[in-house]
C-alpha cells in the first residue's frame, strides 16, 4: 500500500498528548479521525516520531501511515487540513518508501524549551514564566555537561520500554532571545519526561536551589529514584525530526 509521511504542527494546550486515548482528545486521535473521513470510515493507523505529553507543542512532529489508494500529496494534505481543527495543521505531505516508519526511521529529534523571564498573560500558554532573577550563566554551565553519549536514568520517568537510559546528544545549549531564555537539545532519542526534568532541575540551579555539583552528581548517579524537578509542559516544543 502507498506509504505517506506528514509533518505536523500543533498547539498542545488542549490535547491530552500525542498518543491515542479512549474518550480523550489527542493529536493522533484527531488526525486518525480526519483520515477515517477519507477512507469510508476505516481506521488508518498513524505512527508518530515522538509521543509528546499533554500540553506539549510541536512545530515539526512527523507521522507516517499507509492508504489503500494513491493520493496526490498536495490534495491529501489539503483534505486532512480541511477535516482538522485550527490547533493542528499538516505542514507537508510526501510519498515515502514502504520501509519508512516515522518513529523507527528517525535518526535525530530536536526539542526546544521556552522560558520567559517575567510574567505574561499570553506567553504563559507557550512558555514557563520565571522570575527575572534566574541566572542564565548557571543554566549554560549545566548544559555544558550534557554532550555526547550520556546515561540519563536520573532524569527520566521509569518505563519498561526504556531499559537503556543512554542518549547520544548532538547539541545542548541555552540562548537568550529578548525576554526568553531557550533550551535547545538534539539527540538520537529521548526518554520519558527527559527535557522537562532537565529543564526543571537546571532552573533550580539557576535560582540557587541546588549547585552545579549537585546537578552533576545527580546525572552521574544514574538513579531512577533521584530527586529532580519537572518543568511545566507548556514551554516544550518538538521542533524537528531528522531522517
Which of the following is catalytic: 11, 53, 86, 123? 53
Q: Are 67 and 1 in contact (CB under 8 A)?
A: yes
Q: Which one-letter DSSP state was computed for residue 19?
A: S
Digit-by-digit pLDDT tens for the chain (243 residues) are: 999 999 999 999 999 999 999 899 999 999 999 999 999 888 999 999 999 999 999 999 999 999 999 999 999 999 999 999 999 999 999 999 999 999 999 999 999 999 998 888 989 999 999 877 778 899 999 999 999 999 999 999 866 666 789 999 999 999 999 999 999 999 999 999 999 999 999 999 998 889 999 999 999 999 999 999 999 999 999 999 999
Query: Annotated catalytic, 53?
Result: yes
- Grid cell digits, residue 21: 486515548
Domains and CATH numbers, the chain: 3-96 (3.30.70.580), 108-242 (3.30.70.660)
pTM of the model: 0.94
Q: Is the dihedral of CA 46, 52, 58, 61 positive or negative?
A: negative
Give the E-state strand segments of the chain in sequence order: 3-10, 47-48, 57-66, 88-96, 108-117, 128-130, 148-151, 166-177, 180-187, 236-242
Amino acid at each position: 500500500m502507498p506509504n505517506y509521511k506528514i509533518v505536523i504542527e500543533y498547539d498542545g494546550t488542549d490535547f491530552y498528548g500525542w498518543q491515542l486515548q479512549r474518550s480523550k482528545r489527542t493529536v493522533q486521535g484527531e488526525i486518525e479521525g480526519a483520515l477515517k473521513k477519507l477512507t469510508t470510515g476505516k481506521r488508518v493507523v498513524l505512527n508518530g516520531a515522538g509521543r509528546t505529553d499533554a500540553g506539549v507543542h510541536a512545530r515539526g512532529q512527523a507521522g507516517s501511515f499507509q492508504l489503500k489508494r494513491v493520493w496526490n500529496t498536495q490534495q491529501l494534505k489539503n483534505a486532512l487540513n480541511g477535516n482538522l481543527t485550527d490547533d493542528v495543521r499538516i505542514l507537508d505531505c510526501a510519498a515515502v518508501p514502504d520501509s519508512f516508519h516515522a518513529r523507527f526511521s528517525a535518526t535525530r529529534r530536536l526539542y526546544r524549551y521556552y522560558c520567559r523571564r517575567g510574567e505574561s498573560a499570553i506567553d504563559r500558554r507557550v512558555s514557563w514564566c520565571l522570575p527575572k532573577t534566574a541566572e542564565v550563566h548557571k543554566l549554560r554551565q549545566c548544559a555544558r555537561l550534557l554532550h555526547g553519549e550520556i546515561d540519563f536514568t536520573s532524569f527520566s520517568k521509569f518505563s519498561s520500554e526504556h531499559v537503556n537510559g543512554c542518549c547520544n546528544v548532538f547539541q545542548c545549549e541555552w540562548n537568550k532571545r529578548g525576554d526568553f531564555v531557550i533550551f535547545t537539545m538534539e539527540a538520537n532519542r529521548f526518554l520519558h519526561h527527559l527535557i522537562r526534568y532537565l529543564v526543571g532541575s537546571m532552573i533550580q540551579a539557576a535560582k540557587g536551589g541546588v549547585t552545579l555539583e549537585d546537578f552533576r552528581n545527580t546525572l552521574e548517579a544514574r538513579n531512577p529514584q533521584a530527586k529532580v524537578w519537572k518543568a511545566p509542559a507548556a514551554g516544550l516544543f518538538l521542533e524537528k525530526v531528522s531522517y
